[in-house]
Each structure stands twice: as structure tokens, then as C-alpha cells.
Amino acid sequence: MKVNLAFSTTGLTAELPHGFDYRVLEARSALPLRDVPGAIERALDEPIGCAALEEIASNRKTAAIAVCDITRPVPNRLTLPPILKRLERAGIGEENVTILIATGLHRAATQQEIDEILGSEIASRYRVVNHNARERDEHSALGETSTGTPVFIDRRFIDADLRITLGLIEPHLMAGYSGGRKLVAPGLAGQETIKVLHSPRFMRGPRAIEGSIENNPLHEELLEISALAGHDFICDVAMARDRSIGGVFAGAPVEAHRQGWKFVSSTLLETLARPVDAVITTAAGYPLDLTFYQAIKGITAAAHIVKQGGRILLAAGPANSLT
């Protein structure tokens, strides 16, 4: 039996031996939107839970926009230009916009990666900066959450009049689903904050797993940090299997993200009737398997369907220096 695996940028064909009962388990796919530009325009002008983006921006002078680093296949080249146009029409010119690469504790994005993330035209015209979680002086101290997590968020985000994030909603190994609040923390958080969020206090929680939002302590912590940071607006997408856009969710951070993860939960997830003896899995290919840390998400997802004592084989692309 042959199976094609998502592996690096090339894909990988695996020849599986006879004599076993195989099942190919794929995430169900959202249908690609027929009119992506139109869907993005409508999402920004008729957002979820708040006024249109241009209206919100009309009484602001500066804006900060957080985007994911190279390890997330977010289609910023499609979602960012209409956002920037609305900011400009509202009176926030390009000289008053800062685009932050939300690296968390990853290394800084290279110029080549920034061009890939944003498109070379936007990268050359706008102020683009890497978040650096290890530089304490670059963060504003916002106190503590109700559970005692110290909150340090990139000062350039906090000091802006309008705070926007662009992300991707998909199952996440601890937060239930990515996107929304995760662009603020850990994306723009100081290492003092990130180390707590990635500690056993949250990672060992039985609800801190893929696809789990309700009563997930990490999700609740991230929402609280996002609110402390004054998070104003999100524009998140859900992806179809071919990496095209299957849904656009823009608006108030809590409400828009909730509608997005509910869409992903009902549209993309697959189930098994019982655990299996072994799983062959991937991390969904480039750029999601750029590092072992990112690729491990393929293992954590597979762990939910393999029997106790079973085996997991992970196929991930060649490692590089990204951490």
C-alpha cells in the first residue's frame, strides 16, 4: 500500500507492508472559498462582535499589527493589504503602522522570511520588527493575571492606539486552537510570561489539549492576558487541505475567535471508533515541520488515538536552525 505524506516542501510517498489493517485518517477539509478577496472585505466591513475596522480606526493615530513567524502558514499577503488600506482611509498612514513578527521565544525572522511572511512590497514600505522575548526593556509590565502569571507584552504593541492580530485557527496541542489571543501571548510576551504559560502548570492539565477550549485553563489565561494588553481586533482564517482559505473570522478577539474555532471543530476534525496499535503521522509539511519543536505536534495529536504502549512514527522535514 502506498500513501502520500505531507513532508517538508516536497511530500513523501511511503510504501507500507502488507498484512496490516490500515486506515488513512485525514482531517476533513473545509471547502475553499470561491471569492477570497470578497470574503476578506466583508469580514472587515461586517466583523463579528464589533464595528467595522475602518470605523474603529477612525479615532486612532497609530496601529500595531501582530503576525505569525515563518512556522505558521498564515496567508498575510491576502489579509494584510485590505487591512492596511482601511487604516490608511481612516487616517493611519504607513508611517504610523508597526508590523510585529510574533516570535514568542523563537528566533528572529530573517529578511527573506519577512518577505515571505508579508510580501516584499509591504515588507519594504512598512516598519517591520521582530519581537524579542528575552529583551525585558522592550516589554510593558501589565501586572499579573488572576492566577498569578506575570504579564509582560511587547511595548510597541501596548503603546499603539489600535492593536490588531492576524492568525490561523487550527487545533493546538495546549491551547485547544491557535489564533486570536495566541498572537498576543505567547506571540508578543516576554520570556517571564512564556515560561509560565509553557510550564507543567498548564501543559499537564487534562483540558489543555488539541480541540479543547471549554474549561481549558491555558485558553482562559491567554484570554485574560489578551484583555490586559488591550487587544482590539483579529483577522483569523481557517484553511482548506490545499492551504487555500476556507473561512475568514474578523472582529472582536473573543467573539470572532470563538466563531472561528467552532467552524474548525465542526468542519475539519475526524474521529476514530477505538484506539489503534500504531500511527504513522506527519506535522503537515512546510512550514509546520521546520523544527522538531513544531513537528512534535504531530506526535501529540497521534497520542490521542494510539493504544497505551502503541507506536508512533513521525515523518518530518529536514531540521534547520529555526528554534
Q: What is the pLDDT of residue 1?
A: 84
- How confident is the model at residue 268, as a pLDDT? 65
Distance spanning both ends of the chain, measured CA to CA: 35
Position 317 pLDDT exceeds 90: no
Entry pTM = 0.81
Residue 235, beta-bridge partner list:
166, 250
Q: What is the pLDDT of residue 323?
A: 38
Q: Is 89 exposed, middle or buried (0-12, 13-18, 19+ CB in 10 A)?
A: exposed
246 vs 242: which has the higher pLDDT:
246
- What CATH architecture is 31-269? 3-Layer(aba) Sandwich (3.40)
Which residues does the annotation mark as catalytic?
106, 172
CA atoms within 13 A of residue 37's CA, in its CB half-sphere: 2
pLDDT score, position 322: 42
- pLDDT attached to residue 160: 98
Q: Where in the chain is the domain with CATH 3.40.50.11440?
A: 31-269
> Averaged over 250-267, what is the pLDDT?
95
Summarised one tens digit per residue, pLDDT across range 103-150 is 999 999 999 999 999 999 999 999 999 999 999 999 999 999 999 999
Q: What's the CA gap between 197 and 149, in Å, rounded?
A: 8
Whole-number CA gyration radius for the chain: 20
